[in-house]
Structure 1
Amino acid sequence: MADEPHTRWGHDAPSSFEEARKRLIRATEVCFEKFGVHKATVGDIALQAQVSRPTVYRYFPGGRDELTLAVLLRETAHLSDELHEILEGIERLDDKLVEVILTIVRRVPEDAKLRMLLSTDTAGRTSSLAANSEAVLAAAQQLFGPFLGEAEAEGYLRPGARIDWAIEFLIRQMMSLLIMGSGNRSDAELREYLMMFIVPAILNGEDRPHDSNQ
């Protein structure tokens, strides 16, 4: 970039704001692998990216926490296509909800970088950041919003439930399952568990549409 001297960025300045952010996210991933998520600092990330600490904060004003969330969002983005395919192939709203949660809970631990973010010494902080992040909520809104809106329109959303609260609740429940595990349940058992406890918290029931005008 024009305002970045060539003594930074390894004599190869990024061509755009977004490219600079991507490089810092990659540097963060490298530092997490080197030092661990809990121990990596903004200084480590700056050194890895060959920039100053103020440069890191220029692109990520929230510092380490914002970078951690950026890594989380980057690593979960690849699930988006798979999850949308799942939603398109299922008719019942309760089944959609269960299958999306099941897929996330099963797929996320398969990713090495996401496992780091959910390790024992970092899981609590990662969970807190995710549940209170506007970026994470926006990503969840893109995924859950359309079919929760459909549920509301058709009278299947639990009476009095707000879609934004429902999405926040789902994020918190998924983080809990990812951090604490699903109790060695099989996929069939986890589906039953989700259908028994999570679905009734969100949906009114496929056979009992609720008239929101009453």
Structure 2
Amino acid sequence: MPPATTDTTRERIIDAAEECFARFGVAKTTVEDIAAAAKLSRATVYRSVTGGRDELILAVVVRDLSRFLDRLAERLRTERSVSEAVVEGTLDAVTYVREQPAVAAFLVPEAAGHMQAAVAQGAEHVLAMCCDYVRPHFEQAQRLRMLRADIEVEGTVEFLFRIITSLIVMDRDRDAAGLRRFLRTYVVPVVTGPEPGEGATAPAAPRSR
């Protein structure tokens, strides 16, 4: 039987790391745990992943993020308006992280230090990857004047991810309908500007009888 390729071995290790992080938590998972779950020696793990556990943390995050962004890109292609794309994309992201133990494990307090150390090394890569997924949709929306002309993709992605993170960390028990109302009222106008017909004059209040 031919030996496993480097890429195959690395994927096997990342699979094992994802399983261990979900089972034991990021802070308590060791390289030995990951090697055992992958049925590989610790030396093989270190040869395949030279950055050790921090590199594996980032690898798991990036792979999960890629899966989500694939689905988000498909969702953006089907949404009829930028406003709904922002609302539904944000809602999807919040729901996804809350429901994925492997991702949610990185957000618990005990994991925060490890997560920050790992992601700090690849933050620009992660941001660039997110921007690459949404850039075509944002650029098209700007050409169609459905998006503010003065905003940049990178800044918009950072803004939306900060919103997503805050919604995950500070859950105010809003249901999906309440979260959609919040996003349409406070987040969408920042990205799209006023809806057509808004801004110049406010609708007249109904006269009292």
Query: How many angstroms does 1:69 deviate by?
Result: 2.2
Cα shift readout 1:72-111 (whole Å, capped 9, x = no counterpart): 2333444345433422322111111111111111132222
Q: Report SS of the residue matched to 2:109.
A: coil
How far residue 154 of structure 1 moved from its aligned partner, in angstroms, is 2.8
Q: List gaps (5 residues or longer) in structure 2.
A: 198-209
Q: Note the residue ranges of structure 1 that are not aligned, 5 or more in a row.
A: 1-10, 209-214
Q: Which amino acid aligns with 1:84?
A: A
Q: Is 1:17 aligned to residue 38 of structure 2?
A: no
Corresponding residue number in structure 2 for 1:177: 167
Q: Report the AA paired with residue 195 of structure 1.
A: R
Instruction: Name the stretch that deviates more: 185-194 or 164-173.
Output: 164-173
The secondary structure found in structure 1 opposite 2:88 is: helix
Which residue of structure 1 aligns with residue 94 of structure 2?
105
Residue 22 of structure 2 contacts residue 101 of structure 2 at CA under 8 Å; is this kept in 1?
A: no
Per-residue deviation at 1:115?
2.4
| Identical columns (%) | 35
Task: Verify the 8 A CA contact 1:31 1:48 in the aligned structure 2.
Answer: yes
| 1:117-157 deviations in Å (ceiling 9; x for gaps) | 22232257547828962442244224322221123223343
Q: 1:58 to 1:195 in 2, by over 3 A?
A: farther
Partner of 1:205: 194
What TM-score results when the alignment is normalised by the length of structure 1? 0.74
Contact persistence 1:156–1:203 (CA under 8 A): yes
Once the two structures are superposed, residues 132-187 of structure 1 have per-residue CA deviations (whole angstroms, 9 ceiling, x without a partner) of 62442244224322221123223343353221121122222212222333x11111
1:1-214 residue pairs with structure 2 within 5 A? 13-14=3-4, 16-49=5-38, 50-53=40-43, 55-123=44-112, 126=115, 129=119, 133-181=123-171, 183-207=172-196
SS at 1:121's partner residue?
A: helix
Aligned-partner residue type, residue 205 of structure 1: P
Amino acid paired to 2:7: E
Letter matched to residue 115 of structure 1: A
- Greater gyration radius: 2
**Equivalent residue for 2:204?**
none
Partners of 1:89 and 1:71 in 2: CA distance: 28
- Can you list the C-alpha shifts for 1:28-75, whole angstroms capped at 9, x where unaligned? 12332453211223344345442335x445443443222112212333
Q: 1:92 to 1:130 in 2, by over 3 A?
A: farther
Q: Which residue identity does 2:41 align to in structure 1?
A: V
Q: Distance in 2 between matches of 1:192 and 1:38?
A: 37
Whichever structure has more helix as a proportion of its residues is 2
